[in-house]
A and B are shown apart, each in its own frame.
Chain A
Amino acid sequence: MRQKLQSALEASALEIEDVSYQHAGHAAVKDNANETHFNIRVISSKFEGQSLVKRHRMVYGLLTDELNSGLHAISIVAKTPTESGS
């Protein structure tokens, strides 16, 4: 997942955190609270000029396979280098 996001978005910074454990016992997570919920923080110049909805859609689009197989929810922070102050 990291590779996909990194290469497609040419991310200058990419942090992925698996927080599935925080959601164990949640209605939709059946037996396996593994790799179901992630926090993703990505900084990429590709987000320049894109609304938040578009940026999130870009990320979702890259993760369609994962979303169809176990990945349940992702929390996305998508910023441009300028916005993140780096």
Chain B
Amino acid sequence: MAASASAARLLAGDSLTIHVSSRPQLAMVSALPRSSPPTWRLGRPVRLSTSSPHARSVRCLAAGGGLAPEMRATLDKVVASHKVVLFMKGTKDFPQCGFSHTVVQILRSLDVPFETLDVLANEALRQGLKDYSRWPTFPQLYIDGEFFGGCDITVEAYKSGELQETLEKAMCS
């Protein structure tokens, strides 16, 4: 299956191989059920098989160097915490950047509940996200735990209807 093939490639080439047994000091290890070691090794939930192809490659690419496992685990949790998560500059009521503001407007007009996080308030989060998403700029929109895109992509998808479709699917799942 493509997902496990790419997972194998990831483990083979990546220096970030974390084996459950050798990292007992990490709190996350004990929290995870022993029956799912592949989940832990990938460092992210194994939902790859049901995702669209582009999302699958996003996951593989996102195993960038320089990202601490704790940060990765935290970000995993954050993007999974709500169906729609927007990392932006400023807050949804006070955006501090035109691009971030645009995405907030779009989401508001679609009447979807969404969570925003201000990356200007937290430099570690800001840098961590750039590595995690392998995306150098903000805003960054995550739908259903997967990176969707920045402002341009969101606007395009909104115009084409793809954004609404993706959101609907996420809300119903």
CB < 8 Å neighbour of A27 from B120, B136, B150: B120
Q: Which of A27, A57, A74 contacts B134 (CB 8 A)?
A: A57
- Chain B 52-72 per-residue mask, 1 if CB under 8 angstroms from chain A, else 0: 111001100100000000000
Q: Is the CB of B147 within 8 A of A53?
A: yes
Q: What number of A-B contacts does a CB cutoff of 8 Å give?
A: 48
The reply to whether B149 and A53 form a contact with Cβ atoms under 8 Å apart is yes
User: A57 to B53, alpha carbons, bound, how many Å?
Assistant: 15
Contact with A along B120-158 (1 / 0, CB 8 A): 100000000000001111000000000111111100110
B32 at the interface (CB under 8 A from A): no
Residue A3 CB within 8 A of the other chain = no
List the A side residues contacting B52 at CB < 8 Å.
51
Cross-interface CB contact of A53 among B89, B151, B153, cutoff 8 Å: B153
B99 interfacial by beta-carbon distance below 8 Å = yes
Number of interface residues of A (CB under 8 A): 19
- Closest beta carbon of chain B to A66's beta carbon, Å: 10
Given contacts A27-B96, A27-B120, A76 and B152 within 8 Å (CB-CB): yes
**B78: Cβ under 8 A from any A Cβ:** no
Contact A56 B149 (CB under 8 A): yes
Q: Which chain A residue shows the least CB distance to B162?
A: A52
Does chain B have a CB within 8 A of A4?
A: no
Partner of B136, one of A54, A60, A75: A60
Residues of B within 8 A of A73 (CB): 99, 137
CA distance A60 to B138 in the complex (A): 13
- Whether A75 lies near B152 (C-beta < 8 A) is yes
State the CA gap A72–B99 with chains docked (Å).
12
Contact present for B152 and A56 (CB under 8 Å): yes
The reply to whether the CB of A13 lies closer than 8 angstroms to some CB of chain B is no
Is residue A16 contacting chain B, with contact meaning CB distance below 8 A?
A: no
A60 touches B135 (CB 8 A): yes
Residues on B lying within 8 angstroms of A by beta carbon are 52-54, 57-58, 61, 89, 96-99, 120, 134-137, 147-153, 156-157
**What 8 A-B pairs come out closest when comparing CB atoms?**
A51-B54, A52-B153, A67-B136, A27-B96, A53-B149, A73-B137, A76-B152, A60-B136
